[in-house]
Structure 1
Amino acid sequence: MRVVVQRSKEARVTVNGDVVGQIESGLVLLVGVTHTDTEDDARYLAEKIAGLRIFEDAEGKMNLSLLDVGGQALSVSQFTLYGDVRKGKRPNFMAAARPELAEPLYERFNAHLREQGVQVATGRFGAMMDVELTNWGPVTLVVDSK
């Protein structure tokens, strides 16, 4: 699994003009699943992300986690994270897992985040979504389970 982590002051996802997920301060998580991913990958990434020390402490150092600051997460499925653009100009998405594998693992990832104590809002799996966020810092990381 692969997650793009963006520290955000606020974020929301809309589908057909309707807000389906929204957070205040926290993390926007773009989540991709590949064919070989398992429950262990989902658990590992949820624990890693909940504990990432990317929020500033009183001295201005990135020393606090999402859990430490009481932040929220907005999790959005994103199969294009496994797009391959090495050949030609059109991305190849063969490394992205099919929905029947990807959706349950995406849901397990969100469940594991909640088990860590994170309040999680989501987009809608497989939908065409508009994601709006204020990237704070900006801070953006790519976290891979492999």
Structure 2
Amino acid sequence: MNWLVLGYSLAGVLGLALVARWLRLGESRISSEAQARETAEQMLAGFVAHGALLGTDGNAALVAGNGAIAILKRHGAKIAARRLVAPLGLTQAIEGVRVETGERLFGGVLLFGVVADEVRALEASVGRASGVVVTLH
């Protein structure tokens, strides 16, 4: 085996890894409430967001909208979203609160660093949204 070829191959792989990191490829962290609201509106047809609650680790979020709640979670290099209707099934854990989606493949979602009272307040705000008009044609 030629050591020069091995060295060039290793340098090429490291170079591609650095370029991918610099371009932030594969990074799907939910970094802000604004990003969570925008993502929910883009992924769920007819969803108009008015509030959001983020897990402190950036892996999950709840977004209050027009009559429903969107739940977002990291799924590999992308973000997955589902629409839920109140009341939410919650389980308080030491790490945070787990929201049950009722969907076997999507599973429960852990909102790290969040307590059940914050989720219940967001859930109550779904009914209080004012000024939101959705017209379907």
Q: TM-score, normalised by structure 2?
A: 0.27
Larger Cα-atom Rg: 2
* Structure (1/2) with the larger helix percentage: 2
Q: Which has the higher contact order (CA 8 A, sep 6+)?
A: 1
Structure with greater strand share of residues: 1
